[in-house]
Amino acid sequence: MAGRLRRVYDWFDSRLDLVTESEYLGKAFPAEDSFLLGEVALFCFLVLVLTGMFLGFFFEPSTSDVEYDGSVDRYQGEQLPEAFVSVLNITYEVPYGMFLRRLHHWAAHLFVASLSLHMLRVFFQGAYANPREPNWVIGGTLAISSMFAAYTGYALPYDEFASTATGIGYSIAQSVPVVGEIASQVVFGGEYPSSATLPRFYFIHVFLLPVVIAGLIAVHMAILVRQKHTEAPREADVTTGRKPVDRTDDRVVIGLPAFPNQAAISAIVFFITLGALSLLAGFLPVHNVAEYGPNDPASTPALIMPDWFLMWVFGFLKLMPSWLSFTVPGTDIHVSTEFLSGVVLPGIVFGLLFAWPFIDRYDDQRHFTMDPLARPWQTAVGVTGVVFIMIASIAGMNTIVADITGLSTGTINPILLGALIVGPLVAGAITYVSLVRYDAEDPTDEGRKPMATDGDGRPADGGQPGGDRPADDRPLDGDADDRSGAPPGGDADE
């Protein structure tokens, strides 16, 4: 058996020159559980592609009416949009269709969630620092692409709920001064809803955006292989393994080799992710298209709101005062509150996200992660941003808040607007003051090293604050030549 495997390997090696690439099998991966969030996102995307291929076999991106003849009694014999009928058939007629539709739904949610948590981990640990700014920008672009992919998929069932929610996006696109009308015509295929909308959204959802996301992931992984991972600061010198490594030597990554150790861990993460998604799909229902019924332009559902990862934008739309709209003097260009809340504010949020590594700029390369507790102002900014998005998301659910409190939305909205302005600033200020005092009072707490800083949480001597993991007998990524040359990078966005 071993001889046969060797002959197979030699056959591929003679054609693909595997020997020269074998060094990549020994790349070190730090044994940090939080670093696996990126792998969870990758596996969710794989599940999305596979389940999407299955669903695509049965979905019809058409608004043409056909007579329904399925298992849902209330629609028997009715003329219904073909897209709506195809989703009913997937759900109730196709074997395993309901399960795979649910699996696709929950994979989309977990993909965005794991990607968001991954970026938060990178932010708070400062893993976006030089030389990893490009991967941070790629991560932000991935987040935007995934939200647009979810939005375009949201419209495909063409039921009353999804069509109404999609119409909100159409209104936002139209609100863009000068180019809004043309942009909405191109993307939506005319005045929404039109017969061209679903085919275009279907193409964007199943081909264009997946190709963009896959390309971004590929570039991300290429940078990861080129730069290698960041790792937590070491508590002591590493004396085991092939060669001793000083605790401050960031030119060598201490961790598990890519094969077989990290490959085995990745396999476990994949099956855990697939198992979790399967449990969600098996026990938790998703959007019930049969209950909402097909698109009806003459009616509007009582409760309309997007998924949680777009709720913050919906909150901006709910809270933006109408008196902020204006017409540019001397022109007929009108700037509406829809444009300000649906385009300008989200644009500012993502603009700051992309600009952050260049705001918190490091001239020297950083290959160790940083302690969030030792970076008062950076951590305070992160907390401010998180609280801002959370309050905006709550504002998107203002009707639910009004029902719970017994107040009207007219009363709730000014309160939420005030909280959106004041709340994040208060949370950021409390975080900053707490961390400055924490650092001053007990710099060795939780294993952090006593170290002089330059006032902004960065070590004055160029070292790294603290560490939380010795790297005892884990293999070294690189040999003596690697350590004496230019330091390898790390992964800011694993």
Which value, to the nearest 10 degrees, does the dihedral of the CA atoms of residues 35, 41, 42, 45 take? 180
Percentage of the chain lying above the pLDDT 70 cut: 84
Q: At what angle do helices 37-56 and 209-227 cross, to 10 degrees?
A: 150
Contact between 234 and 254 (Cβ < 8 Å): yes
* Interatomic CA distance for residues 364 and 370, integer angstroms: 14
pLDDT (tens digit, 9 = 90+) per residue, 37-90?
999 999 999 999 999 999 999 999 999 999 999 889 899 989 999 999 999 999
How many Å apart are CA 375 and CA 366, to the nearest integer?
14
pLDDT band at 254 (very low <50, low <70, confident <90, very high): confident
Distance CA 265, CA 200 (A): 40
As to burial, measured by CB atoms within 10 angstroms (0-12 exposed, 13-18 middle, 19+ buried), residue 330 is exposed
Q: What distance separates the 2 farthest-apart alpha carbons in the chain? A: 83
Domains by residue range for the chain, with CATH: 32-236+256-305 (1.20.810.10)
pLDDT at 455 over 50: no
- In this prediction, residues 441-464 reach a mean pLDDT of 42
Number of Cβ within 10 Å of residue 425's Cβ equals: 13
In 158-188, which positions are buried (b, 16+ CB within 10 angstroms) versus exposed (e)?
A: bbbbbbbbbbbbbbbbbbbbeebeeebbebb
DSSP string of 17-53, one letter each residue: -HHHHGGGGG-EE---GGGGHHHHHHHHHHHHHHHHH
Written as six digits, the tokens of 247 are: 């605790």
Residue 439: pLDDT band by 50, 70, 90 thresholds? low
**Nearest alpha carbon to residue 373 among 468, 465, 280:** 465
Other beta carbons less than 10 A from residue 69's beta carbon: 11
Global confidence as pTM: 0.84
For 340-364, letters b (16+ CB in 10 Å) and e give: bbbbebbeebeeebeebbeebeeee
335: phi then psi, degrees, rounded to nearest 5 = -105, 105
Q: Quick one: pLDDT at residue 472?
A: 39
Rounded to 10 degrees, what is the CA torsion of 11, 16, 18, 20? 140
* Direct distance between the N- and C-terminal alpha carbons of the chain, in angstroms, rounded to an integer: 37
Per-residue confidence at 470, pLDDT binned at 50, 70, 90? Answer: very low
- Kindly state the percentage of the chain with pLDDT values over 90: 56
- Per mean pLDDT, which of 227-231, 242-246, 373-377 is the most reliable? 373-377
Of residues 158, 184, 188, 155, the one with CA closest to residue 339? 184
Residue 41 to residue 52: CA distance in whole angstroms: 16
- The confidence score (pLDDT) of residue 291 equals 87
Give which of 28, 479, 471, 470 is closest to 261, Cα–Cα: 28
Are 332 and 181 in contact, with CB atoms under 8 Å apart?
A: no
Q: Residue 12 and residue 24: Cα distance in Å, rounded?
A: 17
Q: What is the pLDDT of residue 315?
A: 95
- Look at 335 and 301; give whichever has higher pLDDT: 335
Rounded mean pLDDT, 184-190: 88
**DSSP result, 69-101:** -SS-GGGTT-EEEHHHHHHHHHHHTSTTHHHHH
Per-residue pLDDT reduced to its tens digit, 19-39: 655 566 667 777 777 889 999
Q: What is the pLDDT of residue 306?
A: 86
- Residue count of the chain: 494
**Could you give the 3-state DSSP secondary structure of residue 457?**
coil
Burial (0-12, 13-18, 19+ Cβ within 10 Å), 473: exposed
Phi and psi at residue 238, in whole multiples of 5°?
-95, 115
Work out the pLDDT band at 449, boundaries 50, 70, 90.
Answer: very low
In this prediction, residue 134 carries a pLDDT of 94
Integer Cα distance of 490 and 253 in angstroms: 8
CA-CA distance, 256 to 244, in Å (whole number)? 16
Please compute, for residue 396, the number of CA atoms within 13 A of its CA located in the half-sphere on the CB side: 22
How many other C-beta atoms can be found within 10 angstroms of the C-beta atom of residue 369? 29
The rounded distance, in Å, linking the Cα atoms of 104 and 292 is 20
Q: What is the pLDDT of residues 389-430, one digit of tens each?
A: 999 999 999 999 999 999 999 999 999 999 999 999 999 999
Neighbour tally for 116: CB within 10 Å: 17
> Hey, how many other C-beta atoms are within 10 angstroms of the C-beta on 275?
10
